[in-house]
Amino acid sequence: MTAPELAFGEAGHGTTVVLLHGFPLERSMWDEVTDGLAEDSHVVPIDLPGFGRSPLPADGTSLDDVADGVVSVLDALSVDTAVVVGLSMGGYVALAVAERHPQRLAGLALVNTKASADDDTAKAKRLDLAEAVQGPAGLRALRGMADTLVGAYSRAHRPDVLTAVEAMIARAEPAAVAWGARAMAERPDRHHVLEALDVPALVLTGEEDALMPLSAAQQMAESLGVEPVVLPQCGHLSAMESPEEVTEALRDLLRRTR
């Protein structure tokens, strides 16, 4: 399988920071973090296949292929190494970049994500979702998802975040959602990658993340030999719910890469 073509944005100058979004969203979920980091970095938010402006992938495109697509973006920009930041599904891709292209990493940030593979129940749920979204239900199969992605504090105090997430989900292509669900179901466990990694790293999550248990962040942090950053009053979409805190944590990571 060849690397899928990926659409991306660019802002600022300095160390390159690649931002990979969660499912079933698009690179605009990083807008506030992009603006903050672009003051002193070269920020490259990427749309995963089928989302935002990236074309739909061919059947069988894996998250490993997407990792190769991320490296093709770096090649196109003549960038040797980058700090790769992935939130949730974006984190799964970031881990695949770390395993397949370690020489292209200047640093790694794993945000609201996990390094473990799905168990059989989780895989079956993803395959059911893929089928449902391509059937008569269409995007109605994602009903309620925005409420799960956004933490309780943000739902009560940041209605703009919930509205933006609902709008992104409403824009998603059912075929892209089905592709993403199937690709995530196939990903392997990647804890061994973290143990072998020798670049500065950050593990960040939200204390109200309903999708990723705190233990997943703790386990990744332990493999990397770092302390996890756990943001209060923040759910699964930390980059949208707590963009200033996420930007600050990434700035700290960037300082450690210099």
Q: How many residues bind ligand MLT (CB under 6 A)?
A: 7
The verdict on 184 binding ligand MLT (CB under 6 A) reads: yes
What is the residue type of 39?
E
Collapse the DSSP code of 11 into the 3-class scheme (helix H, G, I; strand E, B; otherwise coil) and give the result. Answer: strand
Nearest to 113 by CA among 85, 141, 154: 85
Half-sphere exposure of 129 (CA within 13 A, CB side): 23
> What's the min distance (Å) between Cβ of 75 and ligand MLT?
25
The verdict on 211 binding ligand MLT (CB under 6 A) reads: yes
Question: Whole-angstrom Cα distance, residue 92 to residue 84?
Answer: 11
The verdict on 110 binding ligand MLT (CB under 6 A) reads: no
Judged by CB, which is closer to ligand MLT: 204, or 254? 204
**Which one of residues 15, 16, 28, 88 is an interface residue with ligand MLT (CB under 6 A)?**
88
> What's the min distance (Å) between Cβ of 15 and ligand MLT?
25
Collapse the DSSP code of 96 into the 3-class scheme (helix H, G, I; strand E, B; otherwise coil) and give the result. Answer: helix
Is residue 221 within 8 A of residue 228, CB to CB? The reply is: yes
Q: Which two tokens stand for residue 181?
A: 């669900």
Judged by CB, which is closer to ligand MLT: 108, or 254? 108
Is residue 43 within 8 A of residue 34, CB to CB? The reply is: yes
The verdict on 50 binding ligand MLT (CB under 6 A) reads: no
Q: Which two tokens stand for residue 130?
A: 């893929």
Judged by CB, which is closer to ligand MLT: 86, or 228? 86
The verdict on 179 binding ligand MLT (CB under 6 A) reads: no
Judged by CB, which is closer to ligand MLT: 12, or 151? 151
> What's the min distance (Å) between Cβ of 177 and ligand MLT?
11
Strand 42-46 to strand 82-87: parallel, antiparallel, or no bridges (unpaired)?
unpaired
CB atoms within 10 A of CB 26: 23
Judged by CB, which is closer to ligand MLT: 22, or 57? 22
> What's the min distance (Å) between Cβ of 129 and ligand MLT?
9
The verdict on 89 binding ligand MLT (CB under 6 A) reads: yes
Cis before 136? omega within 30: no
> What's the min distance (Å) between Cβ of 22 and ligand MLT?
3
Q: In sequence order, what are the residues at sequence separation of 6 or more whose Cβ sits closer than 8 angstroms to the Cβ of residue 227?
A: 221
> What's the min distance (Å) between Cβ of 88 and ligand MLT?
3
Q: Residues interacting with ligand MLT, by CB under 6 A?
A: 22-23, 88-89, 184, 211, 236
